[in-house]
Amino acid sequence: MADSVLIEGLEVETVVGVYDWERRVDQRLLVDLEMAWDNQLPGRTDDVSDALDYAAVSERVVACLRELKPQLLERGAEVLAGDLQEVFGISWLRLTLRKPGAVPAAQSVGVRIERGQR
Ligand SMILES: Nc1nc2c(c(=O)[nH]1)N=C([C@H](O)[C@@H](O)CO)CN2
């Protein structure tokens, strides 16, 4: 199945990082998600309850990362992917977590994971 639902550049302010100073401040993360979903049914019914609701997923992403306060981006990505797959029944997803400004000479740094089967 080639269909997807997308979220790009979702901003989340949370505690994230391995250094002591990073445990005392909020920093900005950017989340990109591609999630496998059969869009044929909502395409026919025009009913959001048949769709993967990107607004609901976005709310969950923010809440999950704000509660988790991970040290590593890898931890944030792994826990978030598992949570979204379980809560929304997403069979496959690709998740990119970026931390702009973490390496001043780089525009952005981050991690990307894929979980599940399409
Ligand atoms: N692969 C990773 N490397 C690093 C991470 C990370 O989350 N994953 N984090 C840090 C620090 O928290 C850094 O962002 C502070 O600027 C270093 N390397």
Q: What is the CATH number of the domain that holds 100?
A: 3.30.1130.10
99 is catalytic: yes
Burial class of residue 6 (count of CB atoms within 10 Å of its CB; 0-12, 13-18, 19+) = exposed
The total domain count for the chain is 1
Among the listed residues 28, 75, 99, 113, the single catalytic one is 99
Give me the tens of pLDDT residue by residue for the chain, a chain 118 residues long. 799 999 999 999 999 999 999 999 999 999 999 999 999 999 999 999 999 999 999 999 999 999 999 999 999 999 999 999 999 999 999 999 999 999 999 999 999 999 999 8
Q: Quote the pLDDT of residue 37.
A: 98
Pocket test for ligand 1, best of 27, 73, 97, 111 (most atoms within 8 A of CB): 73
First CA to last CA distance, the chain: 6
Q: How far is the CA of 49 from the centre of ligand 1 (A)?
A: 38
105 lines ligand 1 (CB under 6 A): no
The b/e string for 87-97 (b: 16+ C-beta within 10 A; e otherwise) is ebebebbbbbb
CB-CB neighbours of 61 under 10 Å? 21
Q: How far is the CA of 67 from the centre of ligand 1 (A)?
A: 19
Q: Quote the pLDDT of residue 1.
A: 74
Enclosing domain of residue 45: 4-116
